[in-house]
Amino acid sequence: MKNIFYLVILIFLYSGIIPQSSIASAILENPTSYLTSPATLVKLTADQPNIDTSKLVVTQPTCNKSGIIKGLTASTTAPEQLQYSWKDENGKEFGTNPDIWDLLPGKYILTVTGSASGRTATYGPVTILNFTGTYIDQSEAIVTPTDCGKTVGSITGITASGKGTFRYSWKNAADIEVATTVDLTNQPAGLYTLQVTDDTDCGPVYTSAIQIGELNGITISDSERLITKATCQYNDGSITGIKTTGASSYKWYNSNSATTVVSTQVDLKNAATGSYYLVASNANGCTVQSATYIIDREAPADLGGIAKIVKNASCDLNNGSIEITLQNPPAVLPKSYRWVTKADQQTVATTPGNTISSKLTDLDAGAYDVYTADQSGCESFLAEYFISRIPALSVNSNSVAVTDDACMNSTGSIKGIQATGSAPLTYTWTDEDGTIIGNTLDLTNVKAGTYKIIVTDAVGCTQTLTYTVKNTSIIINAPTTRTIQLCAPGDAFVSVPAELGFKYRLYETANDLSPLMDNATGKFQVRALQSRSYYVSKYSGNCESPKVEVKIEVGVGALSLANAFSPNGDGINDTWQIPNIQNYPKSLVRIFGRAGNMVFNSTGYGVPFDGTYNGNPLPAGIYYYVINLNSGCSALSGSLTIMR
């Protein structure tokens, strides 16, 4: 038997059930001394819990965050559960788990106890430092209710800790500040919240919402209210089932007439359609008003559904309409339909019945009710409809600028019209013949005349405006001309300086009405067999300058050449000009120095001689020219002086 017992002990030792401590070793060395009873065995197998601090994390409180101790673990070799208890230095327990949160400043000790052995191990104290931010303690708050209808309620006993100067702000349920002291006094019933800030950067802290109650108050409960609609044409509606406490008198009012009491009972009976509210009061001067309740007219008999077509009022007219149609009409149709305004219940129209539809037209914007009457004349509310007003089309011409045409050049315009209305807006411009000439708000590039714009909005409203563009004439200066000299009969080029925006006409005589040629360049080629004159004018649209004479002189030696020029860059006489040389595009112009060296050579003389050779200025002095017109004229030669 002893051998079996020893074997069991060995198995327990090596399996960890019994710790291999010095006591367990003694059991093996002297089993007769230690294994005399089961109680002795149990006592020797118990072991003290071991607390592991390797992962301990202590989070100190900061601002509005409390302290935390976590990461401690405990173990034991005995087969038992461990129990944890955190207590502060005053012995107050703060937690029964290895980790604890929401710690105030203080010192905390952990005790771990084996559930079977009762053996313990402790760790600590762990110090949680004082807060660096603001802390509110409302655990000792004292709330004093107010009397009914008075402002004598208070909230006291709240304390704050933190740094520096404290600032207090009490706010009611409407978020309105009512006090700036730590104690709130002289307040009516309601919910209040305290905000506290100090000299730290942690920001404000708040209490929870605190209710100041009301003594001798009145409560109204409408959870069991019953609203009975008025029937047919009778004022037999009612509002019942409302419960009150603390009230001794009652007054019902119609919302449309707040000065007239319609009943003094808690239940409202025999009431017409409308909105009502109850005012309950007592001898203490308390008064409470209920919500507003609406008594409608009893719904009409099932008419099988209603289809409606609503057309809103537009164009600043009372042209709205409502058409209703019974979709699944009953066997007996309504005798009549009555339309009333929602606001004042004034009858707008009564239309015959015994049909499945009724239409009301020429309506202003607003809400309308329709009632049906059965064959006995009992009227029932059918439906409510709304007519909106579409914003009117507005066309403003206060800033319109009409620019007249000039010389019938189609330079007239009408700009600056402003239009607002239901988008999209469309614009139609027409001329005096009714021809459409534009579809934008501004009309441009038109001749003199009368023009009409029609502005149309998305719902078809239109406005029409008419404008007149006049024609203005301008005085056009005659073009500048000069005499053309030809050394022999041939083609001559009549040329005047061209100006942007003008055209030019060449006439045979000064009295001709029809021109020989017409262009915008001011250049005309004519055949001159003998000396004669042509006439040139400048015009724009139907405005024309006077005709000016252009003489063409035909003859040998007719060219008048300058014998000197001064290329000094002053813009005057800087190049050697050869009048009418353009009439001889094949002419050859050469200039020589005194030594016979050629310093200029040009065919057609497109670029006049400027007194340079290869880009370098020639010295002042006398040079010689030879001009071969290559048109049957004799070559011209002579001297040319460069002056500098």
Q: In which band, very low, low, confident or very high, does the pLDDT at 407 lie, cut at 50, 70 and 90?
A: very high
Highest mean pLDDT range out of 221-235, 383-397, 556-570?
Answer: 383-397
Better pLDDT: 133 or 521: 521
Better pLDDT: 561 or 426: 426
| Lowest pLDDT segment from 38-42, 341-345, 565-569 | 38-42
Domain with CATH 2.60.40.10 in the chain: 50-128, 135-215, 306-387, 394-472
pLDDT value of position 43: 38
Q: Would you say residue 169 has pLDDT above 70?
A: yes
Q: In which band, very low, low, confident or very high, does the pLDDT at 32 lie, cut at 50, 70 and 90?
A: very low
| Pairwise CA distance, residues 534 & 484, whole Å | 11
Q: Provide the β-strand partners of residue 420.
A: 394
CATH topology of domain 219-295: Immunoglobulin-like (2.60.40)
pLDDT value of position 379: 80
Better pLDDT: 436 or 325: 436
Better pLDDT: 314 or 34: 314
At 232, list the tokens: 């047919």
pLDDT value of position 64: 61
Q: What is the mean pLDDT of residues 42-61?
A: 78
pLDDT value of position 299: 64
| Pairwise CA distance, residues 624 & 641, whole Å | 8
Q: What is the pLDDT of residues 472-525, one digit of tens each?
A: 999 999 999 998 878 767 889 999 999 999 999 999 999 999 999 999 999 999
- Within 8 A by CB and 6+ apart from 519, the residues are 503, 504
The secondary structure element, H or E, covering residue 504 is strand 503-507
Q: Would you say residue 320 has pLDDT above 70?
A: yes
Q: In which band, very low, low, confident or very high, does the pLDDT at 555 lie, cut at 50, 70 and 90?
A: low
Q: Would you say residue 631 has pLDDT above 80?
A: no
CATH topology of domain 484-554: Immunoglobulin-like (2.60.40)
Using an 8 Å Cβ cutoff, are 181 and 319 in contact?
A: no
The CATH code that applies to domain 135-215 is 2.60.40.10
Class of domain 50-128: mainly beta
pLDDT value of position 580: 74
Q: Would you say residue 603 has pLDDT above 70?
A: yes
Q: What is the mean pLDDT of residues 563-585?
A: 88
| Lowest pLDDT segment from 47-61, 126-140, 178-192, 590-604 | 126-140
Q: Is 252 helix (H, G, I), strand (E, B) or coil?
A: strand
CATH topology of domain 564-642: Immunoglobulin-like (2.60.40)
Q: Is 426 helix (H, G, I), strand (E, B) or coil?
A: strand
Q: Would you say residue 393 has pLDDT above 80?
A: yes
Highest mean pLDDT range out of 25-39, 122-136, 337-351?
Answer: 337-351
SS3 of 291-354: CCEEECECCCCCCCCEEEEEECECCCCCCEEEEEEECCCCCCCCCEEEEEECCCCCEEEEEECC
At 550, list the tokens: 């252009």
Indicate the pTM of the whole model: 0.38
DSSP string, 579-639: TTGGG-TT-EEEEE-TTS-EEEEEES-SS-B-SEETTEEPPSEEEEEEEE-SSSPPPEEEE
The CATH code that applies to domain 306-387 is 2.60.40.10
Q: Is 71 helix (H, G, I), strand (E, B) or coil?
A: coil
Q: Would you say residue 28 has pLDDT above 50?
A: no
pLDDT value of position 4: 44
| Lowest pLDDT segment from 57-66, 154-163, 190-199, 383-392 | 57-66
Q: Would you say residue 3 has pLDDT above 50?
A: no
| Pairwise CA distance, residues 388 & 597, whole Å | 99
- Compute the mean pLDDT over every residue in the chain, rounded to the nearest whole number: 87
Pairing of strands 636-642, 564-565: parallel
Better pLDDT: 372 or 540: 540
CA 624 to each of CA 148, 582, 593, 595, 640: distance values in angstroms, whole numbers, following the listed order = 127, 21, 6, 10, 6
| Pairwise CA distance, residues 371 & 377, whole Å | 11
Q: What is the mean pLDDT of residues 159-177?
A: 91
Q: In which band, very low, low, confident or very high, does the pLDDT at 614 lie, cut at 50, 70 and 90?
A: very high
pLDDT value of position 390: 92
| Pairwise CA distance, residues 479 & 209, whole Å | 95
CATH topology of domain 394-472: Immunoglobulin-like (2.60.40)
